[in-house]
Structure formats: C-alpha cells, structure tokens
Amino acid sequence: MSNLRVMSVFGTRPEAIKMAPLVQELSRREGIDSICCVTAQHREMLDSVLRVFSIQPDWDLDIMTPRQTLSTITSKCLTGMDEAIDQLRPDLILVHGDTSTTFAGALSAFYHKVPVGHVEAGLRTYDKYSPYPEEMNRRLVTALADLYFCPTENNRQNLRREGIEKEIFVTGNTVIDALKTTVRKDFTFTTELLNHLPYDSRKVILVTCHRRENYGEPMTQIMTALRRITEDFPEVELVYPVHLSPVVRETAEKYLGNHPRIHLIDPLDADEMHNLIDRCYMVMTDSGGLQEEAPALGKPVLVLRRETERPEAVAAGTVKLAGIEAENIYRMAAEILTTPGIYSAMARAVNPYGDGFACRRIADAILWYFGRGERPADFRG
Ligand code: UD1
Ligand code: UDP
C-alpha cells in the first residue's frame, strides 16, 4: 500500500501556529507523506512561525501584497493552488480555521476533487459580518469539507445543528499542542525589552488588536480606552506587538504612541509571544488564538469584540467580552485592576480547548478515514 499524501495548506500566522504541530505529527507518522503548501497570505509573520517550528514548505505561492484585498487574496490563492495540486497530487488537503487562505484552499481542493479535512471546524458567531470575513469563510468551508476536526463538543453541536452528521471528530485545539512545546519557565526572550519588564512589581497588560471589522471607529475606541487605562493606573505597563497591517500600525501609533509605559513593538515570534502570555498580568485582545492560549496559561482575557465564537472560556470565567466601546472597555479593565477577587477568579488555568493531544487524534482520524487504523476517541473537555 502506498503512503497517503496529506497536504496541509496555510498562509497566515495563526493558521501556521496551529498547523505546525500537526505538520510535525504527520511527518512522524508511518504511512503518511506530509506535504506542506503555504500561500504566504502573510509573508514575514508566516516565515517567523516556519522558523520557530523548523518547517520547510514544499510549495510557496508567495501571494502577499501590501494592503491586499479579500478578492485578490482569494483569486491569487485559487490560481496558485491549481499548479500545487497538479504537481503534488495529494490524497487529502487539510485547511485550518477561517482565513481567506482557508476558504480558497478548500475551494481549490473541491475543484480538483480532493477530499478536504477542516481543522478547527464548527466555530460560529452566526453573525455574517462579525468576525468579517471569517464567519462566512468557515461556514463555506463547512460546506466544502469531508472531515471535520472540532476543538470542542460545542463546536460539534454547531455542525450537527447545521445537518452535518458524519465524520466529525472532537480533537481539542492544536494550539494547546503548540503551547506544550513553546512555554518554558527559563525562557530567555530575544526581544530584550521583554527580559526586563517589571512583571512582579507592575501589571503588564499584553494587547493585540488587528481584526478587519474593528478597522476605523471600533479601533479608535479600543485604543482610546487602552491609553486612558495606562494613564489612570500608574502600575500598568502595556505591551502591544503590533500586527504588520498598515491600517493597524497607523492607528496604534496615532493613539498609543509616545507614552513611557506603552510599548509598541514588532510582531513577536510565536515562542516569545507564548512566554509573554505566561508572564503577563492579563491580556486584552481581539485575537481568536489568544482567547485559547491565555486561559490555558491562567491569564484573564478581555475580548475587544462584540461577540466571540469561543464561548467555552467565557463560561469557565477566564474570558470576558468587553465590546468595542471605550467606556465599557475602560470600566471592565478598571474593575479587574482594582478588585483582587475579580482578578483571581479569572486567573485560573482552564483548558476547555484541549489536552495537548489534538494532533495525534487528527492523524489517527485521517488514517481511519482511509481505512488504515482505528477511529480515535474524542477529546472530552
Ligand atoms: C488575516 C486573516 C484573519 C486573521 C489574521 C491573523 C483573512 C481575511 N484575514 O487578517 O482572519 O485573524 O490574518 O493575523 O484571511 N502584512 C505584512 N506582513 C505580514 C502580514 C501582513 O506586511 O507578514 C500586511 C500586508 O500589508 C497585508 C496586511 O498586513 O496586506 C493585511 O494582511 P491580511 O492577511 O490581508 O489580513 P489580516 O488582517 O492579517
Ligand atoms: N502571535 C504571535 N506574535 C504576535 C501576536 C500574536 O506569535 O506578535 C500569535 C498568538 O500567540 C496566537 C496567534 O498569533 O497564537 C494569533 O494570531 P492573530 O491574533 O494574528 O490571529 P487570530 O487568532 O485572531 O486569527
């Protein structure tokens, strides 16, 4: 029997971080040839992840341009994938999450009649425009996929309600697998500032903010609140690794620049970021991935969005939705900063998103799908 050719397709930072441990797991598996095709929807931020996890892509579409539009990303991915699939001849294509790369990768697989496995399947807000365009991307990929790897039981229920019955696996989120390899108590940062932040004597708040639906007024509100929090609480030290999107960088510089306790820094490598989460006081973010990582490391999170497709950590009490209005964000952050009981109730390590064995389950499920192994047991959070 010849080896299964499993092609992982990804292109942005979060997909890369969450697919990296899976690519590593697939490479170790007997009976599987792991192939890696990157779209490079993100260039520098993708390359950083590939470096940290020592992954060398077999194919690189290299599509990124400054201020790219959703249409150009999708069309360039689709065109580029034609040749990649023709040359690499995969038996299965894996896509991750909800980016434009994810959608185009799944659509291209369908055009070539290659089955699709969707990693991180079943997340939903049921609001078409929030997150935008991610909510539609993941729903469209649900329609295109053949195998579904859901992080949680709740994600599986979402798919069931939409009429998907078969081939759903609850695996946990692969990001928890990644964290197991990156977080170390004796970690030394290459970004020198992070070795010297006053983690014990001050309250280091880690911030990220990049979502398209927050561009414009919401981002202005968010950043206004962040500045006020820093100004009103002298014990706060704010660290914000700023996304490379020019829109985000201009807004961050305008509202948060030139303050001695606000550190606007370049994007961090994944291992640096994970260790910074581990050492900070709390996280304020509109990121999806950070809502999973911070709870696992026992850090409170205020989500700078109107909704979340990750309700599990909200239910566990570690994450709170702060919305996108300055007044509310300020009030909720102030409450945590001034009420030790509220802080400690949130600062408990919870792991609704995984036990660190998601990649093993996904590889087992793939072998099962092709009739070459046992069906893996589901992750139970
Ligand atoms: C994309 C995803 C979003 C995900 C985010 C993670 C889509 C539509 N959006 O959004 O779901 O949360 O990635 O970060 O797929 N840039 C660089 N270098 C890089 C990366 C980005 O210069 O390494 C700049 C470019 O000017 C690029 C812009 O950032 O045009 C925006 O990148 P893009 O992938 O279009 O959107 P994101 O906001 O990053
Ligand atoms: N991340 C990183 N460096 C940074 C900011 C984020 O490595 O400077 C990581 C973060 O730990 C998480 C992932 O990138 O694993 C989240 O990516 P992002 O917030 O860009 O996208 P989202 O998760 O919102 O789609």
pLDDT at 166 (0 to 100): 79
Q: How far, CA to CA in Å, does 105 sit from each of 37, 86, 96, 145, 202?
A: 10, 14, 9, 11, 45
Are the beta carbons of 181 and 21 closer than 8 angstroms? yes
Is pLDDT at 1 greater than 90 in this prediction? no
The CB of 102 under 6 Å from ligand 1? The reply is no
Q: What is the mean pLDDT of residues 377-381?
A: 93
d(CA 138, CA 14): 15
168-171 long-range contacts (CB < 8 A, ≥24 apart) are 168/121, 168/122, 169/361, 169/362, 169/365, 169/376, 169/378, 170/378, 170/379, 170/380, 171/354, 171/358, 171/361, 171/362, 171/365, 171/376, 171/378, 171/379
Structure confidence at residue 199 as a pLDDT band (50, 70, 90) = very high
Q: How much is the pTM?
A: 0.98
118 is catalytic: no
| 253-277: b (≥16 Cβ within 10 Å) or e | eebbeeeebbbbeebbbbbbbbbbb
Which ligand places an atom closest to the C-alpha of 248? 1
Structure confidence at residue 85 as a pLDDT band (50, 70, 90) = very high
Rg (alpha carbons) of the chain, rounded to whole number: 20
Residue 141, both tokens: 């990929």
Summarised one tens digit per residue, pLDDT across range 117-166 is: 999 999 999 999 999 999 999 999 999 999 999 999 999 999 999 999 87
CA of 107 to the centre of ligand 1 (A): 20
Q: What is the mean pLDDT of residues 236-260?
A: 97
d(CA 358, CA 356): 6
Which ligand places an atom closest to the C-alpha of 120? 2
Backbone angles phi, psi at 320, to 5 degrees: -125, 145
pLDDT at 15 (0 to 100): 98
DSSP string, 40-91: -SSSHHHHHHHHHTT---SEE-----TT--HHHHHHHHHHHHHHHHHHH--S
Of the candidates 60, 120, 272, 293, the residue annotated as catalytic is 120
CA of 15 to the centre of ligand 2 (A): 9
Is pLDDT at 381 greater than 90 in this prediction? no
Are the beta carbons of 271 and 290 closer than 8 angstroms? no
243 is catalytic: yes
Alpha-carbon torsion, ordered 230, 231, 233, 235, to 10 deg = 70
Nearest atom within ligand 1 for CA of residue 45: 23
CA of 293 to the centre of ligand 2 (A): 10
The CB of 280 under 6 Å from ligand 2? The reply is no
Sign of the alpha-carbon torsion through 257, 259, 262, 266 = positive
15 is catalytic: no
Mutate to test the pocket of ligand 1, among 138, 244, 269, 292 (most ligand atoms within 8 A of CB): 244
pLDDT at 322 (0 to 100): 98
259 is catalytic: no
The CB of 285 under 6 Å from ligand 1? The reply is no
CA of 211 to the centre of ligand 2 (A): 11
Q: What is the mean pLDDT of residues 290-300?
A: 98
Of the candidates 15, 25, 134, 269, the residue annotated as catalytic is 134
Q: How far, CA to CA in Å, does 299 sit from each of 175, 179, 182, 346?
A: 16, 14, 16, 7
Q: What is the mean pLDDT of residues 22-35?
A: 98
- In percent, how much of the chain has pLDDT > 70? 100
Which amino acid, 285? T
The mean of the pLDDT values for the chain is: 97
Nearest atom within ligand 1 for CA of residue 133: 8
